[in-house]
Structure 1
């Protein structure tokens, strides 16, 4: 997991197109630029431009060993995830964090909405495999922090399994990318 503490890195991800591109690339692994363009329903030149912006900040990397010829460009995410430092002091840096956070939240809920709209098109054994939940708790700020640590500890072995499968390119044939997100935050009564 890469700790992002440079607002310029976040700034490049405030573009809606770039965030969707980065998110897609993160999910599907090494892929050609032409396949990314097809999936984004965009011009390959436009996709290449935005990939260069992501690459300037080491968010993606080229994978030349996968290319079949000099015209084919393969790219992949350069990290296993990202965590954002949100305690910037400068107002313009805090504004960048807010803009990035906004894109991140929009992406999460769009992906959930897309799943709900299309899950019946999945193979039957996957149609009801997803889950969701919400709970109302009463916690102190320290207890909320502890809950976050516990949830991250539960997910850690699953992250390691995913990373080993991505690095080795050896996953069971019925493996699918899984999107998991959760939020826990204080509300006014």
Structure 2
């Protein structure tokens, strides 16, 4: 079953701060890869104490990134899952200075993580067999065409988005990355 992810524009500074914390990013990544968890299982997996995890889980819940699973929660044991959404940051001109600085910090902290994924792919792609796919391209687009391409890519990503709870048999968590940037520093003519 395909999961159509709702587009969520991250315009609230509180949401920016919630995502800016490195432990919260690790929590979201863990929930995305491994599925629902309790603060106890997260604490064990992430090497943190349950009190710290509970605080950060509440912050993520308050800002709409995770939700409690009431049918699995009993007594003091609360189960959490990530809310599936197409998270989009406003363009630089639409953000206040504090939010822009926070986005710059989040992006900067992801550089090593992204480089490590690329290293892992190019070093170990044979080990992954048919699970390792890559594509590179070069095209010439104007801004409107790039926006159209990006929206088509996001629609495709949404169409194939699955959580651990609704994944097909034999499914594995997969990292998918997209980025575009000008091939030259020259402004368009």
Q: TM-score, normalised by structure 1?
A: 0.76
Match of 1:139 among 134, 141, 153: 141
Deviation at residue 76 of structure 1 after TM alignment: 1.0
Partner of 1:3: 9
Aligned length: 178
Assess, with a 3 A threshold, how the Cα gap between structure 1 residues 110 and 70 changes in structure 2: closer, same or farther: farther
Unaligned runs of at least 5 residues, structure 1: none
Deviation at residue 183 of structure 1 after TM alignment: 0.6
Partner of 1:101: 107
Q: Which protein has greater RCO, CA pairs closer than 8 Å, 6+ apart?
A: 2
Counterpart Cα distance in 1 of 2:156 and 2:134: 16
SS in 2 for 1:81: strand
SS in 1 for 2:131: coil
Q: CA-atom RMSD, angstroms?
A: 2.8
Q: TM-score, normalised by structure 2?
A: 0.76
Assess, with a 3 A threshold, how the Cα gap between structure 1 residues 106 and 138 changes in structure 2: closer, same or farther: same
The structure with more helix, counted as a fraction of residues: 1
Which structure 2 residues correspond to residues 22-33 of structure 1 after superposition, within 5 A? 22-33=28-39
2:171 is equivalent to residue 184 of structure 1: no
Counterpart Cα distance in 2 of 1:93 and 1:172: 38
Deviation at residue 111 of structure 1 after TM alignment: 4.3
Unaligned runs of at least 5 residues, structure 2: 1-5
